């Protein structure tokens, strides 16, 4: 038998038919839906008079527009209409939705796994690029556009072509203070934001296997920031232990059958990849982005790079533009960069382990006087209540953080949580693009621990000096 990669196994298991040019119709097992990218798709379905193919494949929630303060009704009428449109569509089509106010509501990429709605061997799609997150469960998970959302609603399939494959092998053990987020940023810094374009990435190696499911989700989440539509990790005992007993996961005899199948979801010995990249985990340090692309990243002990040293003209101009936008000087120490706000949250880093790690740094300390706002936004209602049961909310509140309700929040600021022009933020989110967190906003991507260390220091600080 030809040895197959995990991606090839997942692909083959889902091909319904194939056109002569290689365009395939692939079957979609799980469709996650949120309010921003779905209204036009439902409208298209209605206009064409088409039926929904399989409603039990769908799980919906509102996350991008939802307020994180205690508003029962969204104040912004445009946001309110978008959320109520989702609610109405879910009622009309009898779709399972966790609406605002439901204790299970939260960021779509947090609640899918949390509910066991994301399972190994599934194809998972959502009108959201960070759908790559779900690949942590050895699922083929990818972000799609709204036309494709409509296509999946109407046909349960997607037109797709087989991707090239890349294996990113991270070997060795991660030093203390270095997290899955740093691994993700290190990979992006290494291969670049277009490094994974056209590829599905499998993250492998001892450092990946030693990560928890939450850590693996963080790494897969940022596959898209490396240009790869899908990222994935093979099934192992960690995967199976995580899923057992979750509401949407199979139970009883089905559980045993499922587990037996899931254990086959790994790349075979000798499987071929179009590209293999290897990183030494022991050499990864806590990282901070300095520019307006996630590949513009350096170590916390490093300095803002000098564009003059870049020989490629387009890259040099890109660096110069980024430094102007970020108001940074070449050669400046990263730890000399003072911050205005801190955001701990997003589909990258808002799960319970992220909050625990940040709280461990914050405990007994205070948010620095120059920090105007430090936000903690749990990824879901269930993450929030779990954190409160452990007393994490008290640690954050006593230190001067605001403890908010779940949602995408300041990762992209579609709700009221935004940076003002020129404000600088230590953020655990995934994109540092111009204007991402608000017009004129300046974002530095970091791990939850590093965000916590920055909050209590007022500037970037090496989290390793906080851990004893």
Interactions with another protein, residue window 196-235 (CB under 8 A): 197-198, 224, 227-229
CB of 27 to another protein, least distance (A): 6
CB-nearer residue toward another protein: 45 or 454: 45
DSSP-derived pairing of the beta strands 15-18 and 24-27: antiparallel
CB of 400 to another protein, least distance (A): 28
CB of 429 to another protein, least distance (A): 12
3-state helix, strand, coil in the chain (%, to 5): 40, 20, 45
Q: Could you tell me which stretch among 215-223, 248-256, 361-369, 376-384 binds another protein (CB under 8 A)?
A: 248-256
Task: Say whether residue 185 binds another protein (CB under 8 A).
Answer: no
350 Cβ contact partners less than 8 Å away, ≥ 6 residues apart: 107, 110, 344, 377, 378, 379, 380, 383, 406, 428
Q: Could you tell me which stretch among 193-201, 213-221, 267-275, 384-392 binds another protein (CB under 8 A)?
A: 193-201
Task: Match 């445009």 to its residue by tokens.
Answer: 78
Tokens found for residue 256: 């045993």
User: What span, in angstroms and rounded, lies between the C-alpha atoms of 394 and 363?
Assistant: 9
CB-nearer residue toward another protein: 82 or 457: 82
**What are the C-alpha distances in Å from 189 to residues 115, 129, 144, 379, 424?**
32, 19, 25, 26, 21
User: What span, in angstroms and rounded, lies between the C-alpha atoms of 227 and 212?
Assistant: 24
Task: Please choose, from the candidates 440, 402, 401, 435, the residue with its C-alpha nearest in 3D space to the C-alpha of residue 423.
Answer: 440
Residue from 40, 71, 238, 299 touching another protein (CB under 8 A): that is: 40
CB 38 within 8 A of CB 126: no
Tokens found for residue 318: 């890109």
Task: Say whether residue 194 binds another protein (CB under 8 A).
Answer: yes
Residue from 150, 202, 214, 393 touching another protein (CB under 8 A): that is: 150
Q: Which of residues 352-371 bind another protein (CB under 8 A)?
A: none
Residue from 61, 66, 68, 82 touching another protein (CB under 8 A): that is: 82
Query: What would the x/- binding string for another protein be over residues 18 to 37, using CB under 8 A?
Result: -xxxxx-x-x-x------xx
CB of 171 to another protein, least distance (A): 28
Residue from 12, 69, 147, 282 touching another protein (CB under 8 A): that is: 147
CB 377 within 8 A of CB 345: yes
CB count within 10 Å of CB 210 equals 14
CB of 25 to another protein, least distance (A): 6
Task: Say whether residue 67 binds another protein (CB under 8 A).
Answer: no
CB 172 within 8 A of CB 211: no
CB-nearer residue toward another protein: 227 or 286: 227
DSSP 459: B
Q: Which of residues 97-136 bind another protein (CB under 8 A)?
A: 115, 119, 121-122, 127-129, 131
Q: Which of residues 402-431 bind another protein (CB under 8 A)?
A: 412-414, 421, 431
CB of 207 to another protein, least distance (A): 26
Sequential DSSP letters for 163-202 = PEEEEEEEES-PPTT--HHHHHHHHHHHH-TTTTTTEEEE
Residues touching another protein, count (CB under 8 A)? 86
Task: Say whether residue 70 binds another protein (CB under 8 A).
Answer: no
CB-nearer residue toward another protein: 437 or 449: 437
CB-nearer residue toward another protein: 197 or 212: 197
CB-nearer residue toward another protein: 155 or 238: 155
Task: Say whether residue 71 binds another protein (CB under 8 A).
Answer: no
Give strand pairing partners of 165.
Answer: 200
Sequential DSSP letters for 221-289 = HTTGGGT-SEEE----HHHHHHHTT-TTS--HHHHHHHHHHHTT-SPPTT---SEEEEEEGGG---EEE
CB of 201 to another protein, least distance (A): 12
Give strand pairing partners of 287.
Answer: 299
CB of 345 to another protein, least distance (A): 16
CB of 126 to another protein, least distance (A): 9
CB-nearer residue toward another protein: 77 or 364: 77
Tokens found for residue 421: 């022009």
Q: Which of residues 270-309 bind another protein (CB under 8 A)?
A: 293
Task: Say whether residue 435 binds another protein (CB under 8 A).
Answer: yes
Task: Say whether residue 318 binds another protein (CB under 8 A).
Answer: yes
Task: Say whether residue 265 binds another protein (CB under 8 A).
Answer: no
DSSP-derived pairing of the beta strands 424-427 and 442-445: parallel
Half-sphere exposure of 214 (CA within 13 A, CB side): 17
Task: Say whether residue 159 binds another protein (CB under 8 A).
Answer: yes
């Amino acid at each position: 038998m030809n040895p197959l990669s995990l991606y090839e196994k997942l692909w083959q298991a889902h091909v319904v038919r194939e056109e002569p040019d290689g365009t395939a119709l692939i079957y979609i097992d799980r469709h996650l839906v949120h309010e921003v990218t779905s209204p036009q798709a439902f409208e298209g379905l209605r206009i064409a008079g088409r039926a929904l193919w399989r409603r039990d494949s769908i799980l919906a929630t509102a996350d991008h527009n939802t307020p994180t303060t205690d508003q029962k009704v969204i104040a912004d009428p445009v946001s309110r209409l978008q959320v109520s449109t989702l609610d109405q569509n879910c009622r009309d089509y009898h779709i399972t939705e966790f609406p605002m106010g439901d204790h299970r509501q939260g960021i779509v990429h947090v609640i899918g796994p949390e509910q066991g709605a994301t399972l190994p061997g599934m194809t998972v799609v959502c009108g959201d690029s960070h759908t790559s997150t779900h690949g942590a469960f050895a699922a083929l998970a990818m972000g799609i556009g709204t036309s494709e959302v409509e296509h999946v609603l109407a046909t349960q399939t997607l037109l797709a072509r087989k991707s090239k494959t890349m294996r990113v092998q991270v070997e060795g053990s991660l030093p203390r203070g270095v997290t899955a987020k740093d691994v993700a940023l290190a990979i992006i810094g290494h291969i670049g934001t277009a490094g994974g374009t056209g590829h599905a990435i499998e993250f492998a190696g001892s450092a990946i296997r030693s990560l928890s499911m939450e850590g693996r989700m963080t790494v897969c989440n940022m596959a898209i920031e490396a240009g790869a539509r899908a990222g994935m990790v093979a099934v192992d005992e960690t995967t199976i232990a995580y899923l057992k007993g979750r509401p949407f996961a199979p139970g009883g005899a089905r559980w045993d059958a499922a587990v037996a199948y899931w254990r086959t979801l790994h790349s075979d010995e000798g499987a071929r990849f179009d590209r293999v990249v290897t990183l030494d985990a022991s050499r990864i340090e806590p990282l901070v982005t300095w520019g307006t692309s996630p590949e513009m990243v350096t170590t916390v002990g490093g300095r803002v790079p000098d564009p003059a040293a870049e020989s490629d003209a387009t890259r040099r101009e890109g660096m110069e533009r980024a430094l102007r936008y970020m108001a940074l000087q070449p050669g400046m120490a990263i730890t000399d960069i003072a911050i205005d706000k801190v955001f701990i949250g997003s589909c990258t880093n808002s799960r319970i382990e992220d909050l625990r790690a940040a709280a461990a740094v914050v405990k007994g300390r205070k948010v620095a006087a120059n920090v105007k706002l430090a936000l903690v936004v749990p990824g879901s209602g269930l993450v929030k209540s779990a954190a409160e049961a452990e007393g994490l909310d008290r640690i954050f509140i006593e230190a001067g953080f605001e403890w908010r309700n779940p949602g995408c929040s300041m990762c992209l600021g579609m709700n009221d949580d935004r940076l003002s022009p020129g404000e600088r933020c230590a953020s655990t989110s995934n994109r540092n693009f111009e204007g991402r967190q608000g017009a004129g906003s300046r974002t530095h991507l970091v791990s939850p621990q590093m965000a916590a260390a920055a909050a209590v220091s007022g500037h970037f600080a090496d989290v390793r000096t906080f851990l004893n």
